[in-house]
Amino acid sequence: MAFIRKFKTTSGATGVQVCYKEGGRVVKTEHIGSASSEIGVEKLVKKAQAIIDAGNTPLFNLDRYNKKRERKTNNSNQ
């Protein structure tokens, strides 16, 4: 399981990390960056979420479904 961790650095900025848990323990941490403004922190959180989403496989393959549907529609129009 992956989650986003935000924390205060010693300089007062906000750091963003992606942490991975197994068996209730953090086993891996990726530092995304740190920012001192809210806009900067929001950008880092979006980047962290993209990293988490890239590692997930979708439950349903909608591309495959849409291709089948397009073929059916094209065949019925001919």
Amino acid letter, 34: S
In this prediction, residue 21 has a pLDDT band, given cuts at 50, 70 and 90, of very high
Which residue is it, tokens 């986003």? 4
Phi-psi region of 56 (alpha: psi -120 to 50; beta: other; left: phi over 0): beta
Q: Are 50 and 30 in contact (CB under 8 A)?
A: no
pLDDT: which is higher, 26 or 77: 26
Mean pLDDT of 37-62: 88
Pairwise CA distance, residues 22 & 12, whole Å = 30
Q: What is the pTM of this model?
A: 0.70
Residues ≥6 apart with Cβ < 8 Å to 72: none
Q: What mean pLDDT value characterizes the chain?
A: 87
The domain limits of the chain are 2-77
